[in-house]
Structure 1
């Protein structure tokens, strides 16, 4: 097989995906076929080595732990209690329910890291209430999709846990580099909702029903709902950023903390633990199988000379480094239409990172920009995964037309944040440099 022939692995992969095969099995099958064609019997050893590498990667142990933590928070009713406490403080603001949904998305993303789970939980809690109070269906759709997408941009993100080892970059540094852009994005989401609700009150009618709740009662509810969740976020994210714990250790503490919280709220039952364990097993198996398939695919592609060919093709074009970077991000954006976030990471990053290093761009800065692009593609119609998650939890009266129109302003916000990250690298680099914590590879 010539070096150029190895590039056929990508169209072959797309054929399998379009034919309806699961992405993980598609990558495994393509890697096996091309590996045997190129290396014969030696391909078996190479593929088995990739399986062992995936199984022995300690960073990936954080994946099921983060998923379990989010599942316990969801199943035990802690997320519902948290949304109610946030709602007490935001209800008087223009678009208060939408503001509460974004804040809830930020907090839940910071204590879970699973994008689909974040959107599903917030949607099930907020959509019925927003419909009851006659919120515009476009605003509802955009708000829920945007709040759910924060699971990519707010650490600890499962996508980042997978991205770090694949890119050869510290997961802790990626978490700290992503924090400021992620919080900036959430803040701009809030400002948009407040602004459009103030200018067009008919899109988000004011709610006065909480006038009967005294300040003391609000403080009491917030104390018991918000503070424990914030403490859990600190245990997970704070310990990573301070260099006290590795991501895997912090995830273990977070999983234990979620169980302790459920026990403290007297919501810890065998049924809750069982459902959380089953959900963890299902999602973890899916993610880790995709990671294994991606590792096998990338290993064969590298060994067959595909990486060197891609580098020579891109660098040999004579394009400006920034144009090459823009091309990589455009490919990422398009791939996000048809593939899940983890698959895009596993396919694009092994090719992109060596090129990024050759061009002299900062690795952490590029990874943060990459994640913002990936999050934007998650929201962008017509194949936006966020819309398909929302479609599954909303009543028929919220149509695809509402959803497509509703996400557009939030996509604009994300592109604005991307522009800021590209124009001002310090947004992604300042906190990692300031924290100067240990490197966890």
Structure 2
């Protein structure tokens, strides 16, 4: 083999060089899947017996026949239906009217709508763009500062990373060897706490930050019969989807795949009932679903190729030996891992991190005695934080692409910082009190 002709400082650490070269290729902008597959095949031919690649078709077949991953295109389809049907816009307008008498009510309504959309779709990029198009011009019109308005919208749109049925949690469950139902239930309390902390911060800013948040209240809402009907028409559809998807999973009635099918069918029915269904809409939704699903699965296949070669080169043993040599306490290991994942989130997509880094790191964390469910939620919330942290947060780029001309990039950076601080605070709280994650799954599933 070619490895016999390499110097020891390359041959003995070939798995490390594999990881370094692949990371550099991704950061240089090469296509994700081709980077992972190409680099993995190259290093596999150098350091492994070529017969090892006979295992590759079996690994690929295992992915394509994984019933849990069948839920991915269903949830993506559901999210695209809600995005393109205009149901989200109706919800925002109604919630804005409902909170009109609350200080900072418009910003609070944006945050609540973002949470409901996150719980209905689970697709962060689509939610950020949708919220940016709908709510950012409205907030600027109501005298919110550009920085505060853009920060609020970016934070609300990113809630789909942690609020179930998040695509992150859906893909993370099988990798962590934790049931998707447990992942969804475990994320409920952290997700609710995050929304509450955001809303409290907005309300406080209406008293002390009048330069950014209008202090005046709007007209008191009148709960007339017409308004109650309007509220029900806007609020019940997303609640119906949340109950149909999450309620059936939590109750043990349906698997995540079955509940995804219910959510997809429910989203179409809601569009029909609202008179917004058309063949054009169905075509756009199907096209978007196929593109995103293909992207997800081809990245998973590339990551599978990488993990096969990395383990074949004893990379996991090298990493374990390195960590053991450092004689770390458990909390020190978690802190290092969280910082590492946070930095990776600037440059790599969550799918790549989930299927490349987590299979390597998770077994070591579990060996240190930590609950894999707790670590999975910590990982998801950490990624959510890096997803909206300047200067590389993808959420900020999504929002900037649909922002009015007067909103500068520096406004986005300034506005998102308080919400990033809140995220980090909650991450520390969850680290200190793991039962915030593990308690509810035990209550639901016993």
| Range into which the TM-score falls when normalised by the shorter chain | over 0.9
**Could you say what secondary structure the match of 1:110 adopts?**
helix
Would you say 1:19 and 2:28 are equivalent positions? yes
Matches within 5 A, 1:182-193: 182-193=191-202
Shift of the alpha carbon at 1:239?
Answer: 1.1
Aligned partners of 1:143 and 1:272: how far apart in 2? 29
Would you say 1:234 and 2:243 are equivalent positions? yes
**Could you say what secondary structure the match of 1:135 adopts?**
coil
Counterpart in the other structure of 1:419: 428
Would you say 1:272 and 2:285 are equivalent positions? no
Aligned partners of 2:410 and 2:159: how far apart in 1? 23
Most deviating of 191-200 and 374-383: 191-200
C-alpha distance 3-227 of structure 1, shift in aligned 2 (>3 A): farther
Q: 4+ runs of 1 displaced by more than 4 Å?
A: 206-214
Shift of the alpha carbon at 1:412?
Answer: 0.8
Shift of the alpha carbon at 1:212?
Answer: 7.8
**Could you say what secondary structure the match of 1:271 adopts?**
helix
Aligned partners of 2:158 and 2:237: how far apart in 1? 24
C-alpha distance 351-267 of structure 1, shift in aligned 2 (>3 A): same
Aligned partners of 1:36 and 1:242: how far apart in 2? 49
Aligned partners of 1:349 and 1:429: how far apart in 2? 20
Counterpart in the other structure of 1:151: 160
Contact 2:89 2:134 in 1 (8 A): yes
Matches within 5 A, 1:40-439: 40-205=49-214, 215-436=224-445
Contact 1:3 1:305 in 2 (8 A): no
CA displacement, residues 411-438 of structure 1 (integer Å, 9 cap, x when unaligned): 111011111111111100001111117x
Aligned partners of 1:396 and 1:179: how far apart in 2? 37
**Could you say what secondary structure the match of 2:327 adopts?**
coil
CA displacement, residues 33-92 of structure 1 (integer Å, 9 cap, x when unaligned): 122223343243233223222211111111111111011111111111111221111122
Shift of the alpha carbon at 1:209?
Answer: 6.5
Contact 2:48 2:312 in 1 (8 A): no
Contact 1:32 1:43 in 2 (8 A): no
**Could you say what secondary structure the match of 1:394 adopts?**
coil
Shift of the alpha carbon at 1:248?
Answer: 0.9
Aligned partners of 2:30 and 2:398: how far apart in 1? 20
Aligned partners of 2:429 and 2:419: how far apart in 1? 15
Most deviating of 91-100 and 72-81: 91-100
Shift of the alpha carbon at 1:140?
Answer: 0.9
Name stretches of at least 5 consecutive residues in structure 2 with no aligned partner.
Answer: 4-10
CA displacement, residues 195-249 of structure 1 (integer Å, 9 cap, x when unaligned): 1023223423367766586532221101111112201110001111222111111
Shift of the alpha carbon at 1:3?
Answer: 5.3
Shift of the alpha carbon at 1:337?
Answer: 0.7
Aligned partners of 2:82 and 2:391: how far apart in 1? 31
Contact 2:100 2:220 in 1 (8 A): no
C-alpha distance 24-92 of structure 1, shift in aligned 2 (>3 A): farther
Contact 1:141 1:407 in 2 (8 A): yes
Aligned partners of 1:322 and 1:208: how far apart in 2? 46
TM-score by length of 1: 0.95
C-alpha distance 131-323 of structure 1, shift in aligned 2 (>3 A): same
Contact 2:147 2:411 in 1 (8 A): yes
Counterpart in the other structure of 2:8: none
CA displacement, residues 98-120 of structure 1 (integer Å, 9 cap, x when unaligned): 11111011101111111111111
TM-score by length of 2: 0.94
Contact 2:162 2:168 in 1 (8 A): no
